[in-house]
Protein backbone atom coordinates (compact mmCIF):
# COMPACT_ATOMS: atom_id res chain seq x y z
CA UNK A 1 0.00 0.00 0.00
CA UNK A 2 1.26 3.48 -0.79
CA UNK A 3 0.67 6.50 1.44
CA UNK A 4 -2.20 7.70 -0.73
CA UNK A 5 -4.05 4.39 -0.40
CA UNK A 6 -3.54 4.35 3.37
CA UNK A 7 -5.17 7.77 3.67
CA UNK A 8 -8.09 6.88 1.43
CA UNK A 9 -8.71 3.71 3.45
CA UNK A 10 -8.87 5.80 6.61
CA UNK A 11 -11.12 8.48 5.16
CA UNK A 12 -13.43 7.44 2.36
CA UNK A 13 -13.23 3.76 1.41
CA UNK A 14 -16.16 1.33 1.39
CA UNK A 15 -15.53 -2.26 2.48
CA UNK A 16 -14.87 -4.96 1.39
CA UNK A 17 -12.59 -3.50 -1.27
CA UNK A 18 -9.87 -4.65 -3.67
CA UNK A 19 -7.03 -2.15 -3.36
CA UNK A 20 -4.27 -1.22 -5.80
CA UNK A 21 -4.08 1.59 -8.34
CA UNK A 22 -0.76 0.92 -10.04
CA UNK A 23 -0.50 -1.89 -12.54
CA UNK A 24 0.00 -3.29 -15.99
CA UNK A 25 -1.51 -6.32 -17.65
CA UNK A 26 -2.89 -8.02 -20.71
CA UNK A 27 -6.44 -7.48 -21.94
CA UNK A 28 -8.34 -10.75 -21.47
CA UNK A 29 -11.67 -9.66 -22.99
CA UNK A 30 -13.58 -6.50 -23.85
CA UNK A 31 -17.17 -5.39 -23.50
CA UNK A 32 -19.51 -3.98 -26.10
CA UNK A 33 -18.37 -0.73 -27.72
CA UNK A 34 -14.70 -0.97 -26.73
CA UNK A 35 -12.61 0.04 -29.75
CA UNK A 36 -9.18 1.25 -28.59
CA UNK A 37 -7.91 -2.03 -27.10
CA UNK A 38 -8.43 -5.69 -27.96
CA UNK A 39 -7.74 -9.04 -26.28
CA UNK A 40 -4.02 -9.68 -26.09
CA UNK A 41 -3.00 -6.02 -25.90
CA UNK A 42 -0.62 -4.97 -23.16
CA UNK A 43 -1.89 -1.99 -21.17
CA UNK A 44 -1.14 0.08 -18.10
CA UNK A 45 -3.98 0.94 -15.73
CA UNK A 46 -4.94 4.56 -15.13
CA UNK A 47 -6.36 5.58 -11.76
CA UNK A 48 -6.87 8.99 -13.40
CA UNK A 49 -8.96 8.26 -16.50
CA UNK A 50 -9.08 10.30 -19.69
CA UNK A 51 -12.54 10.45 -21.19
CA UNK A 52 -11.47 12.87 -23.92
CA UNK A 53 -14.75 14.76 -23.72
CA UNK A 54 -14.89 16.81 -20.49
CA UNK A 55 -13.54 20.35 -20.09
CA UNK A 56 -10.40 19.06 -18.37
CA UNK A 57 -9.58 16.54 -21.06
CA UNK A 58 -10.13 19.13 -23.78
CA UNK A 59 -7.86 21.67 -22.03
CA UNK A 60 -4.22 21.26 -23.05
CA UNK A 61 -3.05 22.39 -19.60
CA UNK A 62 -5.37 20.15 -17.59
CA UNK A 63 -5.60 16.43 -16.82
CA UNK A 64 -8.15 16.14 -13.98
CA UNK A 65 -10.81 14.22 -15.91
CA UNK A 66 -14.30 14.61 -14.45
CA UNK A 67 -14.73 10.83 -14.57
CA UNK A 68 -12.14 10.56 -11.79
CA UNK A 69 -14.73 11.80 -9.33
CA UNK A 70 -16.94 8.84 -10.19
CA UNK A 71 -14.15 6.38 -9.41
CA UNK A 72 -13.74 7.84 -5.93
CA UNK A 73 -17.08 6.32 -4.89
CA UNK A 74 -15.60 2.77 -4.93
CA UNK A 75 -17.83 1.89 -7.87
CA UNK A 76 -17.48 1.87 -11.64
CA UNK A 77 -18.43 5.12 -13.38
CA UNK A 78 -21.89 3.68 -14.14
CA UNK A 79 -22.55 3.28 -10.40
CA UNK A 80 -22.13 -0.50 -10.22
CA UNK A 81 -19.49 -2.94 -8.97
CA UNK A 82 -18.11 -5.70 -11.19
CA UNK A 83 -16.75 -7.77 -8.29
CA UNK A 84 -18.73 -10.09 -6.06
CA UNK A 85 -17.94 -12.62 -3.37
CA UNK A 86 -20.57 -15.16 -2.31
CA UNK A 87 -23.21 -13.07 -4.04
CA UNK A 88 -22.33 -9.83 -2.26
CA UNK A 89 -20.64 -6.81 -3.87
CA UNK A 90 -16.93 -6.13 -3.43
CA UNK A 91 -15.89 -2.54 -4.06
CA UNK A 92 -13.40 -1.09 -6.53
CA UNK A 93 -10.50 1.22 -5.73
CA UNK A 94 -9.69 4.17 -8.00
CA UNK A 95 -11.48 2.36 -10.82
CA UNK A 96 -8.52 -0.01 -11.12
CA UNK A 97 -8.24 -2.52 -8.21
CA UNK A 98 -4.89 -3.87 -9.32
CA UNK A 99 -4.21 -6.12 -6.29
CA UNK A 100 -5.94 -8.91 -8.15
CA UNK A 101 -5.03 -11.38 -10.89
CA UNK A 102 -8.06 -10.18 -12.86
CA UNK A 103 -9.72 -6.79 -12.68
CA UNK A 104 -12.38 -4.89 -14.61
CA UNK A 105 -11.73 -1.39 -15.89
CA UNK A 106 -13.40 1.22 -18.01
CA UNK A 107 -11.90 1.68 -21.47
CA UNK A 108 -10.86 5.22 -20.51
CA UNK A 109 -8.81 3.81 -17.62
CA UNK A 110 -6.32 1.82 -19.69
CA UNK A 111 -3.57 2.89 -22.07
CA UNK A 112 -2.21 0.52 -24.69
CA UNK A 113 1.56 0.06 -24.56
CA UNK A 114 4.27 -1.54 -26.68
CA UNK A 115 3.97 -5.31 -26.97
CA UNK A 116 7.58 -5.86 -25.80
CA UNK A 117 7.31 -3.62 -22.72
CA UNK A 118 8.14 -5.54 -19.50
CA UNK A 119 5.00 -5.46 -17.34
CA UNK A 120 6.92 -5.64 -14.05
CA UNK A 121 8.60 -2.32 -14.91
CA UNK A 122 6.03 -0.31 -16.86
CA UNK A 123 3.51 -0.75 -14.04
CA UNK A 124 5.38 2.09 -12.30
CA UNK A 125 4.33 4.44 -15.10
CA UNK A 126 0.70 3.99 -14.06
CA UNK A 127 1.30 6.14 -10.97
CA UNK A 128 4.53 6.37 -8.97
CA UNK A 129 7.07 7.30 -11.61
CA UNK A 130 4.76 9.44 -13.75
CA UNK A 131 3.40 11.31 -10.72
CA UNK A 132 6.83 12.34 -9.50
CA UNK A 133 8.59 12.89 -12.81
CA UNK A 134 5.66 14.86 -14.22
CA UNK A 135 5.40 17.06 -11.12
CA UNK A 136 8.86 18.36 -11.97
CA UNK A 137 8.53 18.47 -15.75
CA UNK A 138 4.88 19.46 -16.26
CA UNK A 139 3.61 21.08 -13.06
CA UNK A 140 6.63 22.96 -11.73
CA UNK A 141 8.33 23.30 -15.11
CA UNK A 142 11.79 23.10 -13.54
CA UNK A 143 14.31 25.23 -15.43
CA UNK A 144 17.95 24.49 -16.37
CA UNK A 145 20.48 25.61 -13.77
CA UNK A 146 17.89 25.92 -11.01
CA UNK A 147 17.96 24.75 -7.39
CA UNK A 148 15.32 22.25 -6.22
CA UNK A 149 14.36 20.68 -2.88
CA UNK A 150 12.40 17.43 -2.56
CA UNK A 151 10.68 16.66 0.75
CA UNK A 152 10.18 12.89 1.03
CA UNK A 153 12.50 10.39 -0.65
CA UNK A 154 10.19 7.45 -1.29
CA UNK A 155 9.52 6.09 -4.77
CA UNK A 156 7.60 9.18 -5.90
CA UNK A 157 10.18 11.52 -4.39
CA UNK A 158 12.95 9.72 -6.28
CA UNK A 159 10.92 10.18 -9.46
CA UNK A 160 10.67 13.92 -8.74
CA UNK A 161 14.47 13.98 -8.43
CA UNK A 162 14.79 12.24 -11.81
CA UNK A 163 12.48 14.85 -13.34
CA UNK A 164 14.47 17.72 -11.85
CA UNK A 165 17.69 16.20 -13.16
CA UNK A 166 16.21 15.65 -16.63
CA UNK A 167 15.08 19.30 -16.67
CA UNK A 168 18.65 20.42 -16.03
CA UNK A 169 18.49 21.50 -12.39
CA UNK A 170 21.97 22.32 -11.08
CA UNK A 171 21.29 21.54 -7.44
CA UNK A 172 18.79 19.01 -6.08
CA UNK A 173 18.48 18.79 -2.30
CA UNK A 174 16.76 15.72 -0.85
CA UNK A 175 15.03 16.11 2.53
CA UNK A 176 14.02 13.14 4.69
CA UNK A 177 14.22 12.01 8.32
CA UNK A 178 15.38 8.55 7.17
CA UNK A 179 19.07 8.70 6.29
CA UNK A 180 18.89 5.22 4.78
CA UNK A 181 17.19 6.77 1.76
CA UNK A 182 20.02 9.18 0.97
CA UNK A 183 22.21 6.82 -1.06
CA UNK A 184 19.36 5.88 -3.40
CA UNK A 185 18.35 9.53 -3.74
CA UNK A 186 21.87 10.45 -4.84
CA UNK A 187 21.85 7.61 -7.35
CA UNK A 188 18.64 9.10 -8.78
CA UNK A 189 20.23 12.54 -9.13
CA UNK A 190 20.17 14.36 -5.78
CA UNK A 191 23.29 16.47 -5.32
CA UNK A 192 22.96 16.44 -1.52
CA UNK A 193 20.60 15.18 1.20
CA UNK A 194 19.74 16.57 4.62
CA UNK A 195 17.87 15.32 7.68
CA UNK A 196 15.72 17.96 9.45
CA UNK A 197 16.49 16.27 12.78
CA UNK A 198 20.17 17.19 12.40
CA UNK A 199 19.40 20.89 12.81
CA UNK A 200 18.15 23.01 15.69
CA UNK A 201 16.41 25.52 13.42
CA UNK A 202 13.34 24.85 11.19
CA UNK A 203 14.17 23.10 7.92
CA UNK A 204 12.92 26.07 5.87
CA UNK A 205 15.52 28.29 7.53
CA UNK A 206 18.20 25.69 6.85
CA UNK A 207 17.32 25.61 3.15
CA UNK A 208 17.25 29.40 2.89
CA UNK A 209 20.68 29.52 4.52
CA UNK A 210 22.01 26.82 2.21
CA UNK A 211 20.82 28.55 -0.94
CA UNK A 212 21.11 32.20 0.03
CA UNK A 213 17.54 33.14 -0.82
CA UNK A 214 15.50 29.93 -0.91
CA UNK A 215 15.05 27.22 -3.52
CA UNK A 216 13.47 27.94 -6.87
CA UNK A 217 11.44 24.72 -7.00
CA UNK A 218 10.25 22.80 -3.96
CA UNK A 219 8.23 19.56 -3.83
CA UNK A 220 6.31 18.11 -0.88
CA UNK A 221 6.00 14.38 -1.56
CA UNK A 222 4.75 13.22 1.83
CA UNK A 223 1.24 14.58 2.36
CA UNK A 224 2.09 16.19 5.70
CA UNK A 225 0.46 19.63 6.22
CA UNK A 226 3.33 20.86 8.38
CA UNK A 227 5.83 19.87 5.70
CA UNK A 228 3.76 21.62 3.03
CA UNK A 229 4.07 24.83 5.04
CA UNK A 230 7.80 24.27 5.51
CA UNK A 231 8.35 23.52 1.82
CA UNK A 232 6.46 26.63 0.77
CA UNK A 233 8.47 28.76 3.20
CA UNK A 234 11.66 27.26 1.71
CA UNK A 235 10.89 28.76 -1.69
CA UNK A 236 12.60 31.83 -3.10
CA UNK A 237 10.47 34.77 -2.05
CA UNK A 238 10.04 36.32 -5.49
CA UNK A 239 9.79 33.41 -7.91
CA UNK A 240 9.82 30.18 -5.91
CA UNK A 241 7.37 27.43 -6.93
CA UNK A 242 6.14 24.83 -4.44
CA UNK A 243 4.25 21.76 -5.69
CA UNK A 244 2.17 19.52 -3.42
CA UNK A 245 2.57 15.96 -4.72
CA UNK A 246 1.69 13.96 -1.61
CA UNK A 247 -2.00 13.45 -0.81
CA UNK A 248 -3.21 15.35 2.24
CA UNK A 249 -5.83 13.59 4.35
CA UNK A 250 -9.43 14.49 3.58
CA UNK A 251 -10.50 17.63 5.46
CA UNK A 252 -6.97 18.68 6.48
CA UNK A 253 -6.47 22.46 6.54
CA UNK A 254 -3.13 24.11 5.79
CA UNK A 255 -1.70 26.68 8.20
CA UNK A 256 0.38 28.96 5.97
CA UNK A 257 1.17 32.59 6.66
CA UNK A 258 -0.55 34.83 4.13
CA UNK A 259 2.52 37.06 4.21
CA UNK A 260 4.43 34.42 2.23
CA UNK A 261 2.24 35.17 -0.79
CA UNK A 262 3.09 38.89 -0.70
CA UNK A 263 6.11 38.53 -2.92
CA UNK A 264 5.55 36.15 -5.80
CA UNK A 265 5.81 32.61 -4.46
CA UNK A 266 3.51 30.07 -6.09
CA UNK A 267 1.83 27.08 -4.41
CA UNK A 268 0.48 24.42 -6.80
CA UNK A 269 -1.16 21.03 -6.70
CA UNK A 270 -0.38 18.13 -9.04
CA UNK A 271 -2.16 14.87 -9.81
CA UNK A 272 -0.54 12.11 -11.87
CA UNK A 273 2.23 14.55 -12.73
CA UNK A 274 -0.01 16.55 -15.03
CA UNK A 275 -0.04 13.80 -17.66
CA UNK A 276 -3.03 12.86 -19.78
CA UNK A 277 -2.70 9.12 -19.30
CA UNK A 278 -4.00 7.70 -22.53
Active site residue 65: yes
Q: Which is catalytic among the residues 19, 65, 123, 218? A: 65
Task: Report residue 12's pLDDT band, with 50, 70 and 90 as the boundaries.
Answer: low
pLDDT at 70: 63
pTM over 0.75: yes
pLDDT at 186: 98
Per-residue H/E/C for the chain: CCHHHHHHHHHCCCCCECCCCCCEEECCCCCCCCCCCCCCCEEEECCCCCCCCCHHHHCCCCCCCCHHHHHCCCCCCCCCCCEEECCEEEECCCCCCCCCCCCCCCHHHEEECCCCCCHHHHHHHHCHHHHHHHHHHHHHCCCCCCEEEEECCCHHHHHHHHHHHHCCCCEEEEECCCHHHHHHHHHHCCCEEECHHHCCCCHHHHHHHHHCCCECEEEECCCCHHHHHHHHHHECCCCCEEEECCCCCCCCCCCCCHHHHCCCCEEEECCHHHCCCC
Active site residue 193: no
pLDDT at 139: 97
pLDDT at 71: 61
Q: Which residues are 165's β-sheet partners?
A: none
Active site residue 127: yes
CA atoms within 13 A on the CB side of 176: 22
pLDDT at 72: 64
Which residues are CB-neighbours of 32 under 8 A, at least 6 positions away?
none
- Residue 256: count other Cβ atoms within 10 Å of its Cβ: 17
pLDDT tens per residue across span 148-180: 999 999 999 999 999 999 999 999 999 999 999
Average pLDDT over residues 79-107: 92
Q: Which is catalytic among the residues 19, 51, 227, 242? A: 51
Q: Which is catalytic among the residues 19, 127, 193, 242? A: 127
Active site residue 7: yes
Q: Which domains does the chain have, with CATH numbers?
A: 1-124 (3.90.180.10), 127-272 (3.40.50.720)
Active site residue 2: yes
Q: Is the peptide bond before 274 cis (omega within 30 degrees of 0)?
A: no
Q: Which is catalytic among the residues 19, 22, 57, 148? A: 57
Q: Which is catalytic among the residues 19, 21, 220, 242? A: 21
pLDDT at 198: 97
Q: Which is catalytic among the residues 5, 22, 216, 220? A: 5
Active site residue 57: yes
Active site residue 218: no
pLDDT tens per residue across span 218-248: 999 999 999 999 999 999 999 999 999 998 9
Q: How far apart are CA 108 and CA 62, in angstroms?
A: 16
Amino acid sequence: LCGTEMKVLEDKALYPIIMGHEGAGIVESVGEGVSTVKPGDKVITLFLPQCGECASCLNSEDNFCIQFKQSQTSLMSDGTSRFTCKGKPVYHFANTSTFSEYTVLSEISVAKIDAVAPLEKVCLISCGFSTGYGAAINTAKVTPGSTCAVFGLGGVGLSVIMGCKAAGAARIIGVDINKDKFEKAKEAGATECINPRDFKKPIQEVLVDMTGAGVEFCFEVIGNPEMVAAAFASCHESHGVCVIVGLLKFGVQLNISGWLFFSGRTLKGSVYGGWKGR
